[in-house]
Amino acid sequence: MICADINPVCYRHCGFLEVIKTPLKMNNLHFAYYLLELAGTFAFAISGATAARQRGLDLFGICAIAFTVACGGGIIRDLCIGAIPPAGLTNWYYLVAAIVASALTVGLFPLVQRLNHPVIFFDAIGLSLFAVTGAQKALSYGYNAEVAILLGITTAVGGGVLRDVLLNRVPIILRKEIYASAAMIGSVMVVLGNYLNLSSDWVAVFSLTTCFALRILALRYQWNLPSTFSKKQSS
Between CA 206 and CA 162 the distance in angstroms is 27
Is 4 a domain residue?
Answer: no
Which secondary structure element, helix H or strand E, spans residue 223, and what is its range?
none
When pLDDT is averaged across residues 229-235 and rounded to a whole number, the result is 51
Between CA 207 and CA 218 the distance in angstroms is 16
Task: Indicate left, alpha or beta for 56 from its phi (over 0: left) and psi (-120 to 50: alpha).
Answer: left
Alpha-helical segments (H) within 196-230: 200-220
Is 19 a domain residue?
Answer: no
Is 230 a domain residue?
Answer: no
25-42 b/e (C-beta count within 10 Å ≥ 16 → b): beeebeeebeebbbbbbb
Is 234 a domain residue?
Answer: no
Instruction: Report the pLDDT value the prediction gives residue 98, as an integer from 0 to 100.
Output: 94
Range of the domain at 166: 25-223
How many Cα atoms sit within 13 Å of 49 on the Cβ side? 28
Distances in Å between the Cα of 153 and the Cα atoms of 21, 85, 185 are 25, 21, 9
Instruction: Report the pLDDT value the prediction gives residue 173, as an integer from 0 to 100.
Output: 86
Between CA 152 and CA 118 the distance in angstroms is 23
Number of domains making up the chain:
1
pLDDT band for position 142 (cuts 50, 70, 90): very high
Is 75 a domain residue?
Answer: yes
Is 77 a domain residue?
Answer: yes
Is 235 a domain residue?
Answer: no
Residue 9 predicted with pLDDT over 70: no
Instruction: Report the pLDDT value the prediction gives residue 51, as an integer from 0 to 100.
Output: 92
Is 181 a domain residue?
Answer: yes
How many Cα atoms sit within 13 Å of 222 on the Cβ side? 0
Alpha-helical segments (H) within 83-199: 87-90, 92-107, 109-113, 118-140, 145-166, 180-195
% the chain with pLDDT above 70: 83
Between CA 191 and CA 123 the distance in angstroms is 23
Instruction: Report the pLDDT value the prediction gives residue 181, as an integer from 0 to 100.
Output: 93
